[in-house]
Amino acid sequence: MNTTSIPRPAPTGSRLARAFGFVVALLALAFVPLATPSVNAAPELPPSSGWVRFGHFAPSEADVDVFVDGAPFASGIAFRTVSNYMPLPTGPHTFDVRAAGQPDSAPLLSVEAGVPDDGSVTVGAVSTRDGLAPQVYTDELVQPNPDASLVRFIHAAPDVRAVDVRVVDGPTLAANVPYPSATDYQDVAPGTYDVEVRDAGTDDVVLRVTDWSIAAGVQSSIVIVRGNDGQIDVAPVQDAVAVAEAPSGGIQTGGGAMADVLDPIDGSSSSGAPLPGSVVLAGVAAIGVTAALGTRILRKRAA
């Protein structure tokens, strides 16, 4: 898949850059080597608990560790990736994000987030014009139709106006998506397509992705981010996969499902059964790779 983006200058002087202490550099999407995503089998949840994962959607060259109520939760989470889903008791919890390998350091971000009973959420770190901020997304994991896939879009680029996502010479996949919101999941048809991200209500292309393919039976989130090079990009993360039988080993790997996450709407609304044992939860999913999304083609600079 190829992506073309029209360069926009990145915001300067943000507390985010100072907090993480790095200099913005490489854009992860087209130039970072693909890491193999992993998928965890979905065992039954303990009573009064829900699934939680952490998403690193704020530009940074350093990994982070996440602690929940003072205990380690996830480690080495890189920008544009998510942690494994983990069960936590229902109710509020304190999430602290620290620089990787520095458990005694001051949190870069601290947030209290609620865990829904028998539900699932992504606790994300996003950037704002003023620095790092939390954002909690309800994931609503379901079993995708075996002949289609489910996809939603998350707008995590703070200085980008609301966007439309549409297939070139095809239907609109999402309209007027503002920062930092997420759309509902929707059914999409397997295939390969060219897709454009536009300023909402205009023909002004912010990012173009070519040869974007999607496989059947995958539930995914496409996160619109600003990369470390200051350019607008997308980070696809896998949420769940429908399989005939839950893997007994607990881990399922493979780059194909990660590479296949977007496609035009086939006209039906997202539907499916609540997450059963035959669906596996997505694990750490590295994003932005030539294999998954190809190379960028156009970019546009912000005013």
Q: Is the pTM of this model over 0.85?
A: no
Taking 70 as the pLDDT cut, the residues of the chain under it are: 1-44, 242-303
pLDDT of residue 1: 55
pLDDT of residue 202: 96
Asked if 37 and 255 touch (Cβ cutoff 8 Å), the reply is yes
Question: What are the structural domain ranges in the chain?
Answer: 2-293
Helix (H) or strand (E) run with residue 18 in it: helix 15-20
**Distance in angstroms (rounded) separating the CA atoms of residues 231 and 193:** 22
pLDDT of residue 4: 60
pLDDT of residue 8: 46
pLDDT of residue 102: 98
Asked if 209 and 2 touch (Cβ cutoff 8 Å), the reply is yes
- According to DSSP, residue 251 is labeled E
Asked if 96 and 58 touch (Cβ cutoff 8 Å), the reply is no
